Amino acid sequence: MVFVLVYVDDIIVTGPSPSACQQIITRLSSLFPIKDLGPLHYFLGIEVKRSSQGIYISQTKYILDLLKKAHMDGAKPCATPLSTSKLDHSSPLLDNAVTYRSLVGALQYLTWTRPDLSFAVNLVCQYMHSPRHSHFQAVKRIFRYLKGSIDLGLWFPKCSSSPSITAFSDADWAGCPLDRKSTGGFCIFLGSSLISWSAKKQPTVARSSTEAEYRSLANTAAELTWICKLLVDLAYQSPSIPHLWCDNVSALSLAKNPLCHARTKHVELDYHYIREKVLAREVSVHYICTQQQVADICTKALAKDRFHSLRNKLSLRSPPLSLRGDIKDTYVNETVS
């Protein structure tokens, strides 16, 4: 079995058999002019480092280039990407929003390896059409946070046994002061490795915290379903039913109860998707206290200690000693295998 990941003209070929991978590359080279750059170490701006203990991916060079583009390579670092104070929306509009849109657009790509930025980047993206000076200050704070955490990346340790799938779902009810919409977020782990995450404003206003959390549960269940199907295609079978953790008792009761209570008639039918998954025993939902809710980092701005505590649970870390090098090394262009 060989897997081929294609993005335009950049290709990754991988599989359990090196000879089979090489055979695919040889066959491709007979049809198209390609260049084999050897073992994967740089792909679409994402750096990949390997050791006998696992794989480490980061975007260190991308961050350095981004800081230079924003003229903030000499900025003073800060501990969190957002202030716990509510964002001010009364400041004057920016005269020229081109720079704002360019920087925020570049930050979006950085969230591929930096889940700790998901909520902050999602927040500043909401004001692309008419950014204000206060919004630009929030973007600058994100860059200051990046300055102090340049070398952070995702660590995927090697597993000796088949890891199970665990998900955390959370929502910040009516967190936006402008439209009172809630922000939902989730973090999904395969063993101890974070493999999927999201921070996204919900499309409609929730009338209660239960509704906001219930919607987030449904979205997380949909992502879990897709991941499980993808893992089956990769010939991997999870040893147990995926566990979905939520810190709202009412939302859990609603997910487990097949009866639709009168008080939830206003909830769209699409969000009852989670009930079907629970009844089919494809997802198991459980309560977790707020202090242990990992997805909290994807739904709101947090104080320094709380933010760093949750960040440590996301498999985000500096590269292991065996993989460390000069972060200003020159990297080659995209690799083919």
Task: Identify the CA nearest to 126 among candidates 179, 197, 72.
Answer: 179
**Chain-centroid distance, C-alpha 185:** 9
| Cα gap 213→209, rounded to integer Å | 6
Distances (CA, A) of 178 to 61, 86, 126, 216, 310: 36, 11, 11, 20, 27
Give the up-direction half-sphere exposure of residue 94: CA atoms within 13 A in the CB hemisphere.
17
| Cα gap 271→284, rounded to integer Å | 16
Contacts of 271 (CB under 8 A, 6+ apart): 214, 215, 218
Collapsed DSSP state (helix, strand, coil) of residue 204: coil
Collapsed DSSP state (helix, strand, coil) of residue 2: coil
pLDDT score, position 325 = 59
Domains of the chain, with CATH numbers? Answer: 3-38 (no CATH), 60-152 (no CATH), 160-288 (3.30.420.10)
pLDDT score, position 52 = 86
- What the block records as the tokens of 141 is 């704070």
- What the block records as the tokens of 329 is 């090394």
- Residue 198: pLDDT above 70? yes
Query: What DSSP state is assigned to residue 93?
Result: B
Model confidence pLDDT, tens digit, residues 256-287: 876 655 556 667 777 788 988 998 999 999 99
pLDDT score, position 178 = 86
| Cα gap 152→58, rounded to integer Å | 7
Contacts of 176 (CB under 8 A, 6+ apart): 126, 182, 183, 201
Model confidence pLDDT, tens digit, residues 132-152: 999 999 999 999 999 999 989
Query: For 105-129, what is the mean pLDDT?
Result: 95
Contacts of 115 (CB under 8 A, 6+ apart): 154, 187, 194, 197, 297, 298, 314, 316
What is the tally of helices (H) and strands (E) in the chain? 9, 12
Model confidence pLDDT, tens digit, residues 277-313: 998 999 999 999 999 999 999 999 999 999 999 999 9
pLDDT score, position 331 = 37
Cα first-last separation, the chain: 15
Contacts of 216 (CB under 8 A, 6+ apart): 169, 170, 171, 184, 185, 186, 202, 246
- What the block records as the tokens of 90 is 């009364």
